[in-house]
């Protein structure tokens, strides 16, 4: 399963972007480079995701697809020792093609929308 790495291209506090702020998501892609909803629905195993944010612990999680709204999100589990009642969710918007150089908007768990650039698909 390809690992897609997304880095902050621009957002509040990061007008020039930040390669240290990133998501790594393991996802099958369609031949056109888009998230593959059919593969997600057919695969019972979680698709791994990780949010790396300097100054804090990495957050592991997984990818979720909602067939009713045809939308994607990243569910982020609590970091070790973190007190929280439920996983956080980051909504993927404007996913388009996930190929190097393309852009994706993610609505972070706090509601802030941040632009990410695809830097690798390996």
pLDDT digits (tens, 9 = 90+) for 72-108: 999 998 877 776 666 778 899 877 889 999 999 999 8
Outline where 1-122 has alpha helix (H). 37-42
Long-range CB pairs of 88-96 (<8 Å, 24+ gap) are: 88/59, 89/64, 90/23, 90/51, 92/35, 95/34, 95/35, 96/34
pTM score of the predicted model = 0.89
Mean pLDDT across the chain, nearest whole number?
Answer: 90
């Amino acid at each position: 399963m390809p690992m897609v790495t997304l880095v902050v291209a621009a957002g509040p506090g990061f007008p020039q972007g930040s390669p240290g702020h990133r998501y790594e998501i393991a996802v099958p892609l369609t031949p056109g480079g888009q998230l593959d909803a059919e593969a997600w629905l057919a695969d019972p195993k979680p698709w791994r995701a990780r949010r790396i944010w300097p100054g804090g612990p990495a957050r592991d999680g997984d990818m979720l697809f909602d067939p009713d709204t045809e939308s994607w999100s990243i569910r982020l589990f609590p970091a070790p020792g973190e007190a929280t009642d439920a996983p956080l969710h980051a909504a993927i918007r404007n996913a388009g093609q996930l190929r190097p150089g393309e852009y994706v908007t993610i609505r972070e768990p706090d509601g802030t929308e941040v632009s990410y650039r695809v830097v690798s698909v390996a």
